[in-house]
């Protein structure tokens, strides 16, 4: 990776795997200007996983669509954004375990999302279920 400021080569000076969300955080230092900045490496789910909404309809998996649906279910909470982000990471990790042939089915997304929400906040689970019937 090149420096975000001067485009010279950079060295990795610290690296930490974030196993739960399958990301790698890296601290980099520019060989040219000495600037220090952070990067995060994460799998590109939209290019890796297909979302099957019906027998015939598929689309790239969109983590942001899932995040928004979880955020809406948590709308009554003051910590909705941070909680939705964490719960979305949990749901994605569970979904990837169910994926077959790099596909996830709508029914699995709805079922796993509901179960994760139910373990965390019953009102959010009920809200989610009302907008995402099986």
Q: Which residues bind Zn ion (CB under 5 A)?
A: 3, 5-6, 8, 30, 32-33, 35
Nearer to Zn ion, 5 or 131 (CB): 5
What's the min distance (Å) between Cβ of 104 and Zn ion? 40
Q: Are 71 and 84 in contact (CB under 8 A)?
A: yes
> HSE-up of 109 (CA within 13 Å, CB side)?
22
Nearer to Zn ion, 7 or 16 (CB): 7
- Alpha-carbon distance of 66 to 61, in angstroms, equals 9
- Alpha-carbon distance of 110 to 68, in angstroms, equals 13
Nearer to Zn ion, 25 or 37 (CB): 37
What's the min distance (Å) between Cβ of 33 and Zn ion? 3
């Amino acid at each position: 990776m090149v420096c975000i400021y001067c485009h010279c080569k950079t060295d990795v000076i610290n690296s930490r795997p974030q196993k739960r969300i399958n990301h790698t955080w890296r601290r980099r230092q520019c060989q040219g200007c000495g600037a220090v900045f952070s990067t995060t490496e994460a799998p590109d789910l939209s290019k890796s996983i297909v979302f099957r909404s019906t027998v015939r309809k598929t689309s790239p998996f969109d983590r942001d669509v899932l995040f928004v649906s979880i955020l809406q279910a948590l709308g009554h909470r003051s910590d909705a954004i941070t909680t939705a982000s964490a719960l979305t990471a949990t749901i994605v990790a569970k979904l990837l375990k169910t994926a077959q042939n790099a596909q996830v089915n709508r029914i699995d997304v709805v079922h796993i999302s509901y179960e994760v929400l139910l373990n965390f906040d019953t009102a959010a689970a009920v809200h989610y279920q009302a907008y995402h019937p099986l």
